[in-house]
Structure 1
Amino acid sequence: MAKVNRARSTSPPDGGWGWMIVAGCFLVTICTRAVTRCISIFFVEFQTYFSQDYAQTAWIHSIVDCVTMLCGLGFALCYSPAIAMVGKYFSRRKALAYGISMSGSGIGIFILAPVVQLLIEQFSWRGALLILGGFVLNLCVCGALMRPITLKEDQTTPEQNPVCRTQTQDLKQASPCSAWTKEWVQTCLCGSLQQEYSFLLTSDFAVLATSVLFMAYGCSPLFVYFVPYALSVGVTHQQAAFLMSILGVIDIIGNITFGWLTDRRCLKNYQYVCYLFAIGLDGLCYLCLPMLQSLPLLVPFACTFGYFDGAYVTLIPVVTAEIVGTTFLSSALGVVYFLHAVPYLVSPPIAGWLVDTTGSYTAAFLLCGFSMIFSSLLLGFARVVKKMKKTQLRFLAKESDPKLQLWTNGSVAYSVARELDQKDGESVTLAMLGSSPS
């Protein structure tokens, strides 16, 4: 308890132990996201060993990603809490902190892709998986770095109703097994859950959630089928692993540089737009991929897709925090990553079915590309509509009588007529004093 109390702060420290949190989150992303994305290197091995088609083999990767985002099992218990902790420790340099943290995925791919290929050649796919399992045990070390922190906004957040809490304690003292006690406890619990997840009822978060579904559908299949696609156009196994390494290292650059750029004063207010831009460009890369059928053409694709993949991944927590606030960031991120689960589950098998049916990767890549572009356009359209409504309200306020107009900021409204009357009275008094003889 003493350690927990020392870690408390009234505002995000933007440094100090926060950099250790960033380091821990960095290692977590290596051990979780990088390892799962390197499963695409095992794809051809699984397909050959089990004699299955693309659609059946793709379930291995999709189930791993789905369960990570859906439950409190395995990687999920490490990934989401680590990301939320970074948001607790940083405010002014949040995008940069997330950029460094999320770059672990790219660095992990850059290092692990050729290493995994080498392990498969030396120890077969079974031995390679055992070695990766031992590497993932380092997540225990990452968890030891996570210190809880209580922010000022957390302390001012409305807590559980004190009357409800007092009555619950009285009922427990009177009769521990009373049915009334259970009823009051259930009522208070439901109230706290409604309060914690109240952001689910906002239109802004509903649009973000819908956009995330389409974005997640598009981003997953590439990490399953990029290596098989490269092999299908005549690239060797080592060159295909090299392409994954390029994608990973450029992903790192996208994580860090895009996070740093969007923290600058000129782009600080446009992080939402930068997020849309990055998702849209990844979608365009997908549309071009079927035309790229040689190593010299696939290298620029890996660079472009990798950079903007790292860019929008960095901004997911930032955009989420902009919509729901820091207080609800942990719960909102849990929901956002939970929404990744279903697309991650179905998109690789659907893409595999399209490959098996058409005999080509074109339809699968085009569907993913259009899905990501639609995700970007949906959020952009919602932002335009919101701004148009604000402009319309301002115009109506200017057209109405200034002494009767109401200024609104959502749920609170107040009249400025009294302030105007007071100013008129002060100006009349000053005029009288100025005209009186000295």
Structure 2
Amino acid sequence: MSAGVALALSPVTVALCVRKSTRVTAVVGGLIAALGCLFTSFATQFHQLFFSYGTVVGVGVGLTRDCSTLMVAQYFKRRRELVEIFIVSGSGLGIAVMSTFIKGAIRAIGWRLGLQAVTGAVFVTFILGTFYRSASLYHPQRRAILHLKNQNKIKRKMKDRNKSDDRQPFFDFSTLRSKTVRILLMSTGISAFGINTPIFYLAYHAEEEGLGDTAELLQAYLGLAWAVGCAAFGLLVRQNSAECRIARQYLTQAAVFVCGLATMALTAVEGSYSGYVLFAWVYGIFCGGYHYSLKMYTYERVRSRNFARTWGFVQCSQAVPIAIGVPLSGYINVGCGGKAGYYFSSTCSLIGSLSLFCIDLHRRSVSNKHTKENGGAATCDPQTGPTRRSRSRDRDVPAPTALVLGADFVGSGRAGRDLLDSIGPGSLGSPPPNVENYLMLSEYENNLIAELPNLNERRGRRWSLVVSNTNSPQPSTIQDETPEHKNSIKWKKKCHTNNRLITVINEASL
């Protein structure tokens, strides 16, 4: 329940940090988490334990964890993917270290004093929260920023107080308008019913099967594997090789799919220490990779401006499934015997992985819709007739019109259109076949097609070059002109709509 409460409060935490202060929220969260552990150490009844650890500790952990995500966003913008590797890996290292520390403290000094020792460790988050500072304090133009803020405050005071507030709402649901985000929330919620179940029950099953002394090592292996998985998936996300690049969506799908298979394979492990160790490493690597790739895929979809609020909704979508799915798997294990509850967990993980393919279907439907609105594809079906683009090319283009491509002068008409069709990306001085090059050529052709009607309208107003020394002059013209006039004017442009003569500079005089 503590994990569910922490995830459910994620949108509230993000809103508080955006509206108020990240440092104050982190300090309050660290204090609440420490007090929750302290109250748990004095609990004498189950409902007290339920409230102190399940609710108070959950609230404190939720406030503290989300503040770190927002603070990282202020300082690291270009290397966000690299820094998130260390942030997400911290959860795995916390599992490895705190599980060993809690077990050792409770075994040495008892569970009450052991929880009080844990309170001292958790109180460190309260101290660390006081060191959070806004990145604008270190900006080189900090004084100018403060001056602008003061000017804005003065302007607000001068405005009428009855006017509505221009600030963003406390809960901003604008990102939920995206269908991709909604599909992502659905997939994450379904996966959360079972992907985290082994984290809670792995040590319990090891102790039941006579491996109690190694339960701490299994939790440590699981935490270390989580960190290794974050590092491995982080390298895959950050690598810039064009030959081998995996989309973040497919990394997320592959990670949760393997976690589902590993959870199903756990049902076959009974009393084997090596089997539990193998499961801890395989499951831990892909579980850590899933949490990292999910975070980075969300960041890729909504970018940095809307990431904080969207990530809050993604975490909130996991709250109820974790609070219900983990106990439900435990009840199935007790009721049906063995590890039957893991079949439910693995099934939810596999369904959540496959549901991400709905994003591809949505993209395809949107692209088809845009294609139909734009007049169909660029290819032409001989049975249905030419498309909009091909019809535009078949129009009669005035002979004098011309098209400049790079340094080449291409005449229009049939010869010009044939040359335009034969032009590829490489002929324009660009690299060999590339998607961007084809897109640039397509845009250029579309712009040309859009200009063709205007050229046809100006057909009656086009200019024609008349070379006076090559064409035979009329007798009346020769009689009227003087020799000086013949030497000064050799090139003329004559308009078909009116009888205006335009003088052009003689080439021999240049």
TM-score (norm 1): 0.68
Q: State whether structure 2 residue 319 is matched by structure 1 residue 319.
A: no
Asked whether the 8 Å contact 1:61–1:224 carries over to 2, the reply is no
Q: Which residue of structure 2 aligns with residue 335 of structure 1?
A: 313
Q: Which residue of structure 1 aligns with residue 10 of structure 2?
A: none
Q: Please tell me the residue identity of whatever aligns with 2:225.
A: I
Match of 1:79 among 65, 68, 76: 65
Q: Please tell me the residue identity of whatever aligns with 2:185.
A: A
Give distance in 2, aligned partners of 1:92 and 1:369.
37
Give distance in 1, aligned partners of 2:448 and 2:194.
54
Residue segments in structure 2 that go unaligned for 5+ positions in a row:
1-21, 140-153, 380-386, 393-442, 471-506
Change (3 A) 1:231 1:112: same
Give distance in 1, aligned partners of 2:86 and 2:388.
52
What's the CA shift for 1:314? 1.2
Per residue, is there more helix in 1 or in 2? 1
Give distance in 1, aligned partners of 2:351 and 2:52.
24
Match of 2:323 among 345, 353, 366: 345
Q: Which residue of structure 1 aligns with residue 449 of structure 2?
A: 420
Please give the secondary structure, in 2, of the residue aligned with 1:185.
Answer: coil
Match of 2:388 among 401, 406, 409: 401
Residue segments in structure 1 that go unaligned for 5+ positions in a row:
1-20, 152-164, 173-180, 406-413
Q: Please tell me the residue identity of whatever aligns with 1:230.
A: A
Match of 1:193 among 152, 169, 182: 169
Give distance in 2, aligned partners of 1:297 and 1:282.
16
- 1:31-430 equivalent positions in 2, closer than 5 A: 63=54, 68=58, 73-149=59-135, 170-172=159-161, 181=162, 184-185=163-164, 192-193=168-169, 196-235=172-211, 237-266=212-241, 270-293=247-270, 294-362=272-340, 364-387=341-364, 389-390=366-367, 393-394=370-371, 396-399=376-379, 400-402=387-389, 419-422=448-451
Give distance in 2, aligned partners of 1:103 and 1:435.
78
Give distance in 1, aligned partners of 2:286 and 2:84.
15
Asked whether the 8 Å contact 2:258–2:286 carries over to 1, the reply is yes
What's the CA shift for 1:245? 0.6
Asked whether the 8 Å contact 1:217–1:347 carries over to 2, the reply is yes
Higher-Rg member (1/2)? 2
Number of equivalenced pairs: 355
How many percent of aligned residue pairs carry the same amino acid? Answer: 19
Q: Which residue of structure 2 aligns with residue 159 of structure 1?
A: none
What's the CA shift for 1:381? 3.2
Q: Please tell me the residue identity of whatever aligns with 2:363.
A: K
Please give the secondary structure, in 2, of the residue aligned with 1:219.
Answer: coil
What do residues 139-174 of structure 1 show as CA deviations (whole Å, max 9, x unaligned)? 1233234333479xxxxxxxxxxxxx98996442xx
What's the CA shift for 1:94? 2.5
What's the CA shift for 1:327? 0.6
Q: Please tell me the residue identity of whatever aligns with 1:282.
A: C
Change (3 A) 1:360 1:168: farther
What's the CA shift for 1:218? 1.3
Give distance in 2, aligned partners of 1:232 and 1:365.
16
Change (3 A) 1:100 1:194: closer
Q: Which residue of structure 1 aligns with residue 413 of structure 2?
A: none
What do residues 216-245 of structure 1 show as CA deviations (whole Å, max 9, x unaligned)? 22123222211111122231x220111111
What do residues 289-326 of structure 1 show as CA deviations (whole Å, max 9, x unaligned)? 01011111111100000001111111222111122221
Change (3 A) 1:59 1:339: farther
Change (3 A) 1:117 1:404: farther
Name the structure, 1 or 2, with higher relative contact order (CA <8 Å, separation 6+).
Answer: 1
What do residues 233-261 of structure 1 show as CA deviations (whole Å, max 9, x unaligned)? 231x2201111111111111111221122
Asked whether the 8 Å contact 1:113–1:242 carries over to 2, the reply is no
Give distance in 2, aligned partners of 1:392 and 1:185.
39
Give distance in 2, aligned partners of 1:63 and 1:375.
27
Please give the secondary structure, in 2, of the residue aligned with 1:146.
Answer: coil
Asked whether the 8 Å contact 2:190–2:321 carries over to 1, the reply is yes
Q: Which residue of structure 1 aligns with residue 480 of structure 2?
A: none
TM-score (norm 2): 0.60
Change (3 A) 1:367 1:298: same
Q: Which residue of structure 1 aligns with residue 439 of structure 2?
A: none
Q: Which residue of structure 2 aligns with residue 7 of structure 1?
A: none
Give distance in 1, aligned partners of 2:79 and 2:246.
14
Q: Which residue of structure 1 aligns with residue 12 of structure 2?
A: none
Please give the secondary structure, in 1, of the residue aligned with 2:352.
Answer: helix
Give distance in 1, aligned partners of 2:274 and 2:328.
29
Give distance in 2, aligned partners of 1:233 and 1:404.
76
